[in-house]
A and B are shown apart, each in its own frame.
Chain A
Amino acid sequence: MGKVVGIDLGTTNSLVAYVRDGEPRVIRDSSGDALVPSVVSLAEDGTIFVGREAQRRLLTASSRTVYSVKRFMGRGIEDVQDDAALLPFRIGGDAGGVVRIGIGDREFTPPEISAFVLRELKQRAEEHFREQGEFDFEVDRAVITVPAYFNDAQRTATRDAGRLAGLEVLRIISEPTAASLAYGLDKKNRGTIAVYDLGGGTFDISILKVEDGVFQALATSGDTHLGGDDIDRALIELVIRESAGSKNAAGSKEQDPAYPAETVQAIRKAVIQAKWDLSDHEHAEIRVEPIAGLPNGYRRAITRAEFEALIRPLVDRTLGPVRQALNDAGLEPSEIDEVVLVGGATRTPLVRQLVAELFGRMPHSDLNPDEVVALGAAVQADILVSGRREMLLLDVTPLSLGIETIGGVVSKIIMRNSTIPASGREMYTTSVDSQTSVDIHVMQGERELVADCRSLARFKLRGIPPMPAGLPRVEVRFQIDANGILSVGARELRTGIEQSIEVKPSYGLTDQEVERMLIESFEHAQADFDARLLIEARNEAETVINATEKSLRRPDFAEITGGELTKDEIGQIERALIELKQVMVGTNREVIHEKTHALNHATRHLAEVMMNRSVREALAGRNVKDI
């Protein structure tokens, strides 16, 4: 059995952590950096970059670089039009199906992109364990966190990403509850906790009750489309508006679509820096160096007050879900004992201030808000594999689960904020004599009408024994597991026959699709590996060719080798050189290796002669460099 880790798969950054000697710790790179930017870039030659390197490529290869992919997990193209407009990469997909991201001539689903990030984290952890001298350093299992307010499709997409990355996903847990676990380690106290989690792309609020080591979520709410990204976007729009205005005073105030994607990325980088600066200072400058579309660059002073006025509407949007969660938990703000801040965006002073006002107490931020979720995931992973029982996390399902009934109305089967695992049952019958199948449409959401809820999946119940209409009694059982993921089973009660169920996820991948992608990713992995080996072989060949040619072209070649190398030897060198050049353009790396070896062999005597001469000259007081 390999190692187990906890992973925070974030919109902007991702982290990996593990537990050693009962203590969770994040895994850092050699420079002490724990954050892996959730950015994936595909080069023209097929090389895939992840993390910092991919982030750098945002400025040079925007259209081939994907970020904020978490916003697309488990969603359809019609959900993401607004996001797609501002992002530099191609977003497509069929209506009513999963989003597809196009880079060059390849297409990826969001779970596939996320899988690249997960693989990077897996590798980072494996390198860490290897450096620690672990014999068994392979990482094969993980707990991965998701926003509490993620629906079934989004959770499933995250689990699929884990599978594609070669990880057994032990558990999907929600980010705020994970954070509470990380905090709970030090203080094994009792009371109610509110976790306010404003991340890169999502907002979550969870209310938990802690007693006897049981972390029981009472209620959760949130917005899967609200986070630091939106703050950045507000600032980017400000810059675009103002710079377009100065460029073309009479022009429209609309965003200028003429800005190349690279320019928008340069602006994005500049505003993020200014945003960070404003967390610690009252003043900052947004500074974009001259770039295509902005030949004079752009500079603008911004005060914290201006910044806060700009983002206030966004921050205020978090208050609705907070009230909702408190209401669902049956608590007043004053009844909350502890408030915990999670997510990089909670570094913004305005956010801290609003949270403090709302709850009438200073929020906790002892743990790094970027790292606390990964730490909690590691704790949960440790609980699962070690059998430790001092802590237990009882999470809730964020959205009600229902089925479509006559007239497009949703009949709720499992209510939101039900502790998971949770189950529900519904009876079905037939409307036509001898009917043998029934269609079931599963919805998630709080609204009454199908049109206002999220379609999760369509099921077809088959194999109902032919009976007069209305006679069969088919019990359909909905089971939400501890991951918050739904499964469905059915049985005809009169005959006891188990029904087969065909699942068509509305915004997810079928198991077959995941299997296929898994196979493809192995194939790609092999292809990527082969490509790298070929490049290495060519590089090696080139080094040998260059060195040989350099010697052969020396004006004093004849003088140096005179009498020491036979004509035959020189002829062999020249033949080996030509042969290697011929095979080098091919793709057979074995042959390249072979011919490189042959050239090396043929030049061995020449190399000795050159070396001896150098030594002699050096001994004669001449500088080696002059040779």
Chain B
Amino acid sequence: MTPDSIPVTPVSTLECRSCGAGAPVDEHFCPQCSRILALGRHGDYFTFFGLPRKLTIAQDDLERRFRELSRKFHPDYYYNASPAERLASLERSSYLNDAYRALRTPATRIEHLLAIEGLPPTKSEGESGAAKVPPALLEEVFALNEELDEIREQREAGGDPAAIAARLHAARAPIDHKRDEHERQIEALSARWDSQLQTASPAERRATLDALRETLLERNYINNLLATIEREAATLGSGLSALGSGPESQKPKA
């Protein structure tokens, strides 16, 4: 789950509830008494994992970090601890799980990056059916809608399901093509962001983020189109769900 907007609270230090010492905000454990610290701030999942703010993340490295932090925070290991530590353990574990879920797939990772870089979320705009058509997709959307209307007429007139299925399949092809194109664009932009992290000016980096966001919006829109086609195929029943492999392989590979 990606929160719609994440308030990044600028806190420089936090107080250890166990010993009262001050601790840097992104520490997990008190440098003084080494007890688990209450969550200092919500916001940056990359920092929480001790990772740079890069979009390329080695999956096995992320998993290893997740397991290590789980072993440090999990409530199982705080059963006999003080109430303050138990609460901190619950908070930190929950937050770790949220963070892991957000970072492990590229799409949610980009969403999170955009959020912590202060860009508006893409989700709400992209998901509702009433979203305006991205200009770059006007042509495809127009053609698809026309084709879908005809297919519906054909279906209501009792047309041959196999023929309708074939037509749906054909209508899907250009959209699939667009999606693949966008996937490649997103990959390229992600790589650019990573390379700019140290060197580029804030303006250049901002331009990359804006482009990422725009591409993501379009991709969300494309996914909605594909979902529409799927729904249309579903009304035909009969194992046509194998028409495509789903909007995208968002599923985490274990």
Contact = CB atoms under 8 A, between A and B. Distances in A.
Contacts of B80: 385, 387
B100 interface: yes
Interface in A385-428: 385, 387, 389, 392-394, 412-415, 418-425
A331 interface: yes
Contacts of A481: 75, 90
A328 B254 CA distance: 11
Nearest to B101: A418
A569 to B, nearest CB: 68
B253 A330 contact: yes
A212 B67 contact: yes
A418 B90 CA distance: 15
Given A330-B251, A384-B79, A392 B97 contact: no
A503 interface: no
B184 interface: no
A384 B75 CA distance: 9
Contacts of A412: 1
Given A419-B97, A420-B97, A423-B95, A392 B254 contact: no
Contacts of B77: 387, 389
Interface in B229-254: 249, 251-254
B98 interface: yes
B167 interface: no
Nearest to A327: B251
B17 interface: no
Contacts of A319: none
B120 interface: no
Nearest to A415: B1
A38 interface: no
A218 B251 CA distance: 11
Interface in B14-50: none
A420 to B, nearest CB: 7
Nearest to A390: B71
Contact of A209 (B71, B79, B254): B254
Nearest to B1: A415
A192 interface: yes
Interface residues of A, number: 39
Contact of B70 (A380, A394, A422): A394
Contacts of A209: 254
Interface string A368-395: 0000000000001001110101001110
B3 interface: yes
Contacts of B97: 418-422
Contacts of B206: none
Given A331-B254, A424-B1, A393 B98 contact: no
B76 interface: yes
A393 B118 CA distance: 36
Given A418-B1, A422-B94, A423-B94, A218 B76 contact: no
A481 to B, nearest CB: 6
A419 B1 contact: no
Interface string A262-300: 000000000000000000000000000000000000000
B70 A214 contact: yes
Given A330-B254, A424-B1, A479 B94 contact: yes
Contact of A414 (B1, B93, B249): B1
A170 interface: yes
A423 B75 CA distance: 14
Nearest to A208: B254
Nearest to A420: B97
Interface string A315-335: 000000000000111110001
A192 B63 CA distance: 14
Interface string A85-124: 0000000000000000000000000000000000000000
A354 interface: no
B74 interface: yes
Interface string A114-137: 000000000000000000000000
A482 interface: yes
Contact of A329 (B76, B79, B254): B254
Given A214-B67, A393-B76, A479-B90, A423 B254 contact: no
A211 interface: yes
B74 to A, nearest CB: 6
Interface in B74-100: 74-77, 79-80, 90-91, 93-95, 97-98, 100
A171 B78 CA distance: 13
29 contacts: A170-B79, A171-B76, A192-B254, A212-B64, A212-B67, A214-B67, A218-B254, A328-B251, A329-B251, A331-B254, A383-B76, A385-B79, A387-B80, A389-B77, A392-B74, A394-B70, A412-B1, A419-B101, A421-B90, A421-B97, A422-B94, A423-B94, A423-B95, A424-B1, A479-B90, A481-B75, A482-B74, A482-B75, A482-B76
Given A423-B95, A423-B98, 9 more contacts: A211-B63, A330-B251, A384-B76, A387-B80, A392-B76, A394-B74, A424-B1, A425-B3, A481-B75
Of all A-B residue pairs in the complex, the 3 with the closest CB atoms, nearest first, are A330-B251, A423-B94, A419-B97
